Amino acid sequence: MNFKKYITNIALVVGIAIILNLVSDQMFFRLDFTENGQYTLSDATIDILENLDQPVTIKAYFSKNLPPNITSVRRNFKDLLIEYASHSNGKIKYQIYDPSEDEDIEKEAMQEGVQPVLVNIREKDQIKQQKAYLGAVIKIGEQKEVIPFMQPGSPMEYALSSAIKKISVTQKPVVGIVQGQGEPELSELQQVKAELEVLYDVRTVNLDNSTPIAKNIKTLAIVRPTDTLTSGELNVLDNFVKRGGNIFIAMQRVNGDLKTLYATSQTTMLEQWLQNKGINVEPALVVDAKCGTVGVQQQQGMFRYMSQVQFPYIPIISKFADNPAVKGLESVIMPFTSPVSFSGDSSIKYIPLLYTSDKSDKINAPFMFQVNKQWTQNDLTKSNIVVGAAFEGKFFADTISRMIVLGNGSFAIGNKNSRQQIQPDNVSLFVNSIDWLTDDTGLINLRTKAITSRPLDELEDSTKTMLKYLNFLLPIILIIIYGIFRNQRNKSIRLKRKEESYV
């Protein structure tokens, strides 16, 4: 009898497992307990998938037998592809290959644009390098988009959804980058331009007095102008806003020169144009205890050496509003930043976006930098100074427009002759701002979905100590509690069996 019952139970378990596998193949879902919904498809992605007009083929090239942190990338990407396919009404078809198992597949991956990377593998107490593939190719008809390398920890959904969006959209919104007033060339905005071109047609725009801005341009970006704008050029901007155009402005109100150690205010008439609309970018620099460093030459005896010292004039911004333009950002470096405020009326909605830390202040220009100054609490008496804000409303008549104004113009500018990468969140701040001004697809929320940093050194020492011991002791305590519970339970069962009434 017991044997038949045992066989029946096994059969039931096997049957249930088969049914669950069949059902899960058609109804894929995941429980997501992450802070930012990292494993839950956004409404923007679902909208893209449900409105595909043509079939999409995805070939993923992912190597096997890699370290756990990299193997998880393959697993998560596969889960993502399954979920995409389930929401696409049959339009998404995918295949996953391991190029290391087939020379022809490896050759195909490289021809398609997926290049191998070298990863460190620990084997028998030795570290060796192994070639690995972590990329994918997305195709719609003759259109192709390549994800050459999926960085562990990067936002997979954004990479995949934006790739599909890029090749499925026939006409992209146009974003104009203003040139002609001393702004950086597009070659100095390469990272920003590359990100923008996923969803937009990026063009340069000159503020010609006699020619209005093209009607197909929805958003203008004005980045760190250094020359004075004429009244005619400012009038062109007014006309653009009057027809409902949106503007992103990143301006350098104060120039900080580390060679002369001098800070001077800068006037381009753009600050006056903003002030007429109630938007004020102060001729001052914020100082913040949470800041970057600069190299200072010091001498000890006969030797000279460079050392890094905290420089409060390079604030690291980590306080952001709950707004799509800054959502998901964790830290943005903004050297020589000015405060932004609003003194207009209620026809314009004022939305502060970026704040300094609780230990900050501002200093009016001009002044000399004191590189070796020992900053104290008495020097940093203010908190939450706004250094970037959004504005939405009727700047003219009945037309509603949007603006984002940042008190720093250099945060996203790179060196055109250098391969040095700009901090990812700096790029995301620029591109997210353009998204908020221009795009209504919702992909703005996906770019910063991955966690980029969780610095422990910003926590109090007592908190770090508590987390360290909690991480070490909690599993042991849970095992001990379970052992005590099980021991008591078994003891109770043995006592019951000894009772005369036990049958």
Instruction: Single out the residue of 329, 220, 211, 307 nearest to residue 270, CA to CA.
Output: 220
Over range 402-410, report the average pLDDT: 96
pLDDT at 417: 64
| pLDDT, tens digit, 9 for 90 and up, residues 31-51 | 554 555 555 787 778 888 888
459 has a pLDDT exceeding 70:
no
pLDDT at 482: 81
Two tokens, residue 400: 């509603």
pLDDT at 451: 47
pLDDT band at residue 461 using 50, 70 and 90 as cut-offs: low
pLDDT band at residue 476 using 50, 70 and 90 as cut-offs: confident
| pLDDT, tens digit, 9 for 90 and up, residues 310-360 | 999 999 999 999 888 898 889 999 999 999 999 988 899 999 999 999 999
| pLDDT, tens digit, 9 for 90 and up, residues 246-259 | 999 999 999 999 88
| pLDDT, tens digit, 9 for 90 and up, residues 182-202 | 999 999 999 999 889 888 899
Q: Residue 382 has what DSSP assignment?
A: B
Q: Distance between CA atoms of 342 and 352, rounded to whole angstroms?
A: 9
Give the global pTM. 0.72
Instruction: Single out the residue of 162, 154, 85, 155 nearest to residue 443, CA to CA.
Output: 162
- How many other CB atoms are there within 10 angstroms of residue 213's CB atom? 19
pLDDT at 229: 95
pLDDT at 6: 63
In this structure, of 18-22, 70-74, 359-363, the range with the lowest mean pLDDT score is 18-22
pLDDT at 48: 85
pLDDT at 301: 67
pLDDT at 307: 77
Two tokens, residue 70: 């990299």
Q: Distance between CA atoms of 448 and 382, rounded to whole angstroms?
A: 29
Where is pLDDT greater, at 145 or 458?
145
Beta-strand pair 279-281/134-140: unpaired
29 has a pLDDT exceeding 70:
no
pLDDT at 202: 94
Over range 430-434, report the average pLDDT: 93
Q: Distance between CA atoms of 152 and 85, rounded to whole angstroms?
A: 22
pLDDT at 180: 92
Distances (CA, A) of 445 to 424, 440, 502: 15, 11, 63
Mean pLDDT of the chain: 85
Range among 97-111, 152-166, 316-330, 382-396 with highest mean pLDDT value: 382-396
List of residues 6+ apart from 99 with CB closer than 8 A: 61, 63, 105, 106, 108, 109, 116, 133
420 has a pLDDT exceeding 80:
no
pLDDT band at residue 176 using 50, 70 and 90 as cut-offs: very high
491 has a pLDDT exceeding 90:
no
Where is pLDDT greater, at 175 or 294?
175
210 has a pLDDT exceeding 80:
no
pLDDT band at residue 288 using 50, 70 and 90 as cut-offs: very high
Over range 88-114, report the average pLDDT: 91
pLDDT band at residue 499 using 50, 70 and 90 as cut-offs: low
